[in-house]
Structure 1
Amino acid sequence: MTDSDGRGGASPAAIALIVARLYRQLAQASADDRNLTYAQLSALARIGQAGPLRAGELAAREQVAAPSLTRTIRPLYEAGLIGKEPDPSDGRSAMLRITTEGRAFLERIRRERAELLARRMARLSADQREALDAALPVLELLLTE
């Protein structure tokens, strides 16, 4: 594969297309019976990972405006996937926390997606699995700014 200036290597457009297609297939493989959006799943996962957070803190971590975050988390709250608790340092504020149901939902989604990847990776040759292992640190670098 060559990039747009002919230097060789993967083009950003090709990588973006592959990542988008893989994400879509992973999303279709999991039984998201609640039809959550990518933003909602991301917010739920962030709350689960980071522990109780103020809405403003979550908005900053998700890199969205506060009004947008409010629209994102409302269905999570209504579905019982997240809850609110008083902020111990400021009684006027609330902290968002993942519920037991929300954690179980996330674990199921992750398990189903991991099972799909495991089935597909089982078809790879030893050399292909080794190449994939070698690519992981590079892909992780793309996650940072």
Structure 2
Amino acid sequence: MTVPNPSEDRVTGDDGAWALTAVITQLRRSLRSSVREEFAWESLPMAQVEFLQRLAREPGLRIGDLARKHRMANNTVSTLVNQMVRGGLVAREPVPGDKRAVQVRLTQEGRGRLDAWTRANERRISAALAGLDAQQRAAIDAAVPALGVLAERLDEHG
């Protein structure tokens, strides 16, 4: 991977934001295509992976909650959840005290598929990290907490 050159194809004047966007985009693309050696696109689409990850962190969300958190339309989320229910990855359960509402939870199959997908990603990242020198590895290790905070801020503020 080459380090992005801020003078090329830059849209804004913020070199740091541009470089980070370029690297994250390339990293996501590389990881997604690499993990597909174990998980074909059609067997576990990224939208389903993202929902499984969310439901692992926040079990029992309603369709509207998932839609809001993923910035998607309710009907789009409902369609995706229906596909995941048919695939055995999630289950719809009644919300106690609200006969009209349902919550979505991971099934054992969904948890297993998410765990397998996560392990496949960890193997690929670990292998790539092993090829870095100590200074590069230390820089990545030091950046991870700040990147987590950045992700949270982006989620909060859109």
> Would you say same fold, with TM above 0.5?
yes
For 1:12-27, what aligned pairs fall within 5 Å after superposition? 12=18, 14-27=19-32
1:87-112 deviation per Cα after TM superposition (whole angstroms, max 9, x unaligned): 11212221111000000000000100
Match status 1:141 vs 2:146? no
1:55-105 deviation per Cα after TM superposition (whole angstroms, max 9, x unaligned): 111111222121121222222111100011111121222111100000000
Give the corresponding residue for 1:10: 16
Q: Could you tell me which amino acid in structure 2 is paired with residue 54 of structure 1?
A: R
Q: Could you tell me which amino acid in structure 2 is paired with residue 113 of structure 1?
A: N
* 1:17/1:2 CA distance change after superposition, 3 Å: closer
Match status 1:32 vs 2:43? no
1:88-138 deviation per Cα after TM superposition (whole angstroms, max 9, x unaligned): 121222111100000000000010001101011011111111111222233
* In structure 1, distance between residues paired with 2:131 and 2:119: 19
* In structure 1, distance between residues paired with 2:121 and 2:34: 6
* In structure 2, distance between residues paired with 1:69 and 1:41: 13
Q: Could you tell me which amino acid in structure 2 is paired with residue 66 of structure 1?
A: N
Match of 2:50 among 42, 58, 61: 42
**What is the CA distance between 1:24 and its match in structure 2?**
2.3
* 1:78/1:134 CA distance change after superposition, 3 Å: same
- Contact 1:44–1:76, Cα closer than 8 Å, also in 2: no
* In structure 2, distance between residues paired with 1:68 and 1:129: 40
Q: Could you tell me which amino acid in structure 2 is paired with residue 105 of structure 1?
A: R
- Contact 1:47–1:96, Cα closer than 8 Å, also in 2: yes
Runs of 4+ that moved beyond 6 A: none
Identity score, percent: 29
3-state secondary structure, aligned to 1:10:
helix
For 1:1-145, what aligned pairs fall within 5 Å after superposition? 2=6, 10-12=16-18, 14-30=19-35, 31-33=38-40, 34-143=42-151, 144=153, 145=157
* In structure 2, distance between residues paired with 1:87 and 1:6: 48
Show structure 1 runs of 5+ residues with no match: none
Please tell me the root mean square deviation across aligned C-alpha atoms, in Å.
Answer: 2.2
3-state secondary structure, aligned to 2:60:
coil
Show structure 2 runs of 5+ residues with no match: none
